[in-house]
Chains A and B, each alone.
Chain A
Amino acid sequence: MYKTGAIGDKQSVLGFKALGLDVFDCSTKEEAEIRLKSMSEEDYAIIYVIDNLYVEIKDVIYEYNEKRLPAIIPIPGMKGTTGIGLENIKKSVERAVGADILFNND
């Protein structure tokens, strides 16, 4: 039995609380890093991170990319998206294929 969580600024994550996700309101980079580390040691399978925060703690998050769990997924926040989600897909494709062949037309 695993849990799901969300990290982000208070306004953006408030709605997820109603869905039953464990919501952590972090506004600074340091806070988010510590929270993420402690969450990944617990039974969290999926952690949604609001993407302006995601961009700031990217380096910590990428360490978890190779692991099976948790899945750390960026979602757009109240202030809109930073495009990091699509950027990540693009990076994965580049990593696997050697060249970006999906986003050519953009």
Chain B
Amino acid sequence: MARLNVNPTRMVLTTLKKRLKVASKGHKMLKDKRDELMKQFLELARKNKALREQVEVNIGDVYSNFVIASAVMSPEILNEALMFPKQGVSIEVSNKNVMSVNVPVFDFKTTTDDISNIYPYGFATTSAELDNAIENLSDIFPELLSLAAVEKEVQLLASEIEKTRRRVNALEYVMIPQLEETIKYIQMKLDENERGNQIRLMKVKDIMVQEAIEEKQEFTKSSLDEYCSKE
């Protein structure tokens, strides 16, 4: 792992140590976030799968009713019957926060409350299959809505998990090793400098001691010579 390109000084070492601390803390938190997201995501994905299968089966039934209705009735009458819908749907969107992912929650309101009063046509010219088809469809509409909500949540969670996973991996396999490596490098460099300094001091001391000894010996010798010459 390549180390960062920094000067090996004590100040850089302190900042790097701080950064390493923050990085490992962040890594731990992101990892927790990822695990929790994953747990919720898998639950939701299972739910989504089940719901989708159910909706697809149910909607198939609706279509088969519609096919019969359109076979019995002429297309003009069918079009005319459904031209101006009586029922209206408005959606209220609120927010749900799942591990800091903003997920929309759908609440729907229909304009007509009476379930038997949703048919936008008189019963004279239309067939009973059409009534069935529309009733079925309005029965499964809540399912369709919750499918929409769940599916959106799954998509949003999936992209959030992907992002978090990348961050965790980047921290785990790039940032943290790099920082550790650099810190080690600076520490070694500083230790090496320290040792160099120590040795230099010892050497200087040796030289100084040597000089002092020589001076002393010279002095003794000269005083001895002086004494001898006096004799």
Residues of A within 8 A of B (CB): 1-4, 11-12, 14-21, 45-46, 48, 65-66, 68-69, 71, 73, 75-78, 80-81, 85-86, 88-89, 92-93, 95-98, 101-103
Contact = CB atoms under 8 A, between A and B. Distances in A.
14 contacts: A3-B89, A17-B82, A19-B87, A19-B89, A20-B87, A46-B145, A71-B148, A76-B63, A86-B52, A89-B52, A96-B157, A102-B42, A102-B45, A102-B46
B162 interface: yes
Interface of B: 38, 41-42, 45-46, 48-49, 52-53, 55-56, 59-60, 62-63, 66-67, 70, 78-79, 82, 85-93, 102-104, 106, 108, 110-111, 118-120, 133-134, 137-138, 141, 144-145, 147-149, 151-152, 154-159, 161-162, 165
Contacts, number: 145
B41 A96 contact: yes
Contacts of B162: 95-96
A11 B70 contact: yes
A101 B79 CA distance: 45
A80 B60 CA distance: 7
Question: Nearest 9 A-B pairs (CB), nearest first?
Answer: A71-B152, A92-B158, A20-B87, A96-B161, A20-B88, A2-B91, A96-B158, A20-B89, A45-B91
Contacts of A16: 137
A73 B137 contact: no
A73 B41 CA distance: 18
A45 to B, nearest CB: 5
B93 A69 contact: yes
Contacts of A93: 42, 45, 158
B39 to A, nearest CB: 11
Contacts of B111: 20
Given A46-B148, A68-B102, A71-B149, A17 B92 contact: no
Contacts of A14: 66, 78-79, 82
A60 to B, nearest CB: 15
Contact of B87 (A18, A45, A78): A18
Contact of A20 (B52, B110, B147, B158): B110
Contacts of B62: 15
Given A12-B63, A86-B52, A102-B49, A18 B104 contact: no
Contacts of B118: 18-19
A18 B119 contact: yes
